[in-house]
Amino acid sequence: MPYPFTLPTTSAFSFSHSFSCESHPSLPLNASTRRGVVRDTLKSHKRLPPQSQASNLSSVVSSLTSYTPYIFAIDAGLSRHTISGDEINVVLKTAPAIEWRPMLADNPIPGKEPPRVKINSLEYEIIFALSALANTYTLQARTALHPLYVTSTAPVGTAQRQTAVAAATKNLLDAASIYDYLASRAESVTSALPCVDLSPAACRAQCELALAEATLLAVLKDDPYPAIVAQDRNQNDTEWMYKAPTIPKVRAHLFARLCLAASEHAAQAHSLCASAGKPGKVNESLIKYLDDLRRTSRAKACRLFGIDKEHDGQTGEAIAWLHAGLQELGVERKQEDLKKGRSGSGFGLGSKLKKEWTEKREDRKVEKGSNWGADAGKLEEIRVLEMLESKWTKQNDTMLTQPIPPTGPLFAQMPSGREFYTLKPFQPPLLDAYTLESMRAPPDRLDDVGGGSSDDDTLVPSPSPVPVGAFPGTQGDYGGLRSGTGTPSYY
């Protein structure tokens, strides 16, 4: 958590080939230059190993934030709008031909990247660029939260934990604002969409996803139990737990309603993605993540309702809420284990050995920093639920002996969710008056940025040099030429 998006790549493109600006002649050239930086940054980021991509996200954000004001300026010029009190007059010469590699579309060929799609509208260019920026914000949120889940080093302190959660929340809310803006903008597009990434449903689903994850972080900021479970697995933890973690009664009930609100956002996002049929399907990994996030959010709510009941001394009903949370996560409990108060492995589809192997594999992903949390925190919540179940069951068996009610009626008692955040409207970035004034001068060079149209990751080998004295057109007869030696082979 949050979702591990893959950033897209794009082809080269020259704005001067498709647009001309009578009021600011240098605007297309400057837009092409900024876009070329974005293209190179995205390609370089893709080629980095997973461990190095986190530190490169700031470069991606910088290049995208520097580029987006220029495409908004061209878009405003096409509509004869003013920016910073300056009127821009842009003329469309020919439809642009740009290629982007979508990342949400279902890949028809397993094991390979989805094919690039061609777009011929500036509107689609804006959606792709802002989507890449929002996805980068989400990845920055993952980077901020990563130290909280690492168990190979000393656990972070309370202040560091709150700082990391606050930074991740800000990034997620910024991403949600962008997605919300793109969803409203995509709804006004009447032409046929080239891929599902540009659809209003996909943009709205990503907005709901970011809101759900930000709402869960509001709970994680003051929820001590995940940190306690992580410390139990951390061999470098030198702190002793003097007392059991506590959550005030009122806040436990409030946090539960926040988790229910997050589950509603995740359910809405899942519905939007699952129902998308044209112009293509959303990849199964995102759909599965949204379903896991919905289940995890409801399981957290069940745990918090259980904490609320345990504070009231109703341990039997508290244990039932834990069972309801495990049931939400698909963890099965045998009836005889429930009667006897056994926690067991409870992994349903696998044995205890398989459960331990799954946990170790997830811990290795966290250590490597690649694709961790792809289960939306499901495994982490199972650990917390089982820890509390074992503790409260032992307490109930030895002291209270309260009956454990069935879990069915508990789901009907769940209240509605409570929203925590209100999205701020996204304000499109605009060029300042000084920058616009400087582009009234004619361009100082030709706009040849769009010399290439491919975003292939493989380097194209340079053509072999022409041998000295060779007759024109006979380079193939000198195929034995060794690069750098100049010595031909006669065999």
Q: Give the pLDDT means over successive 10-residue stretches in the chain (491 positions).
A: 90 92 92 95 92 92 96 92 86 92 80 84 94 96 87 76 93 96 89 87 94 95 83 60 64 93 95 76 90 95 93 91 92 55 45 65 70 84 91 86 87 89 92 91 76 46 51 54 45 41
Q: Which amino acid appears at position 251 of this protein? A: R
Element holding 318 (H helix, E strand): helix 315-328
Q: Can you say whether residue 407 is alpha, beta or left, with left for phi > 0 and alpha for psi between -120 and 50 degrees? A: alpha
Residue 192 inside a domain? The answer is: yes
Query: What pLDDT does 238 receive?
Result: 54
Residue 490 inside a domain? The answer is: no
Does residue 187 contact residue 135 with C-beta atoms inside 8 Å? no
Residue 460 inside a domain? The answer is: no
Contacts of 15 (CB under 8 A, 6+ apart): 27, 28, 29, 31, 32, 35, 74, 96, 447
Element holding 320 (H helix, E strand): helix 315-328
Residue 106 inside a domain? The answer is: yes
- Residue 380: give the domain boundaries: 15-112+119-226+246-412
- The token pair at 79 is 């509509």
**Chain position carrying tokens 């011929």:** 120
Query: What pLDDT does 303 receive?
Result: 95
Residue 432 inside a domain? The answer is: no
Domains in the chain, number: 1
**Chain position carrying tokens 């990034």:** 171
Distance CA 74, CA 370 (A): 38
Residue 447 inside a domain? The answer is: no
Residue 458 inside a domain? The answer is: no
Residue 429 inside a domain? The answer is: no
Query: What pLDDT does 35 receive?
Result: 95
In this structure, what CATH number is given to the domain that contains residue 107?
Answer: 1.25.40
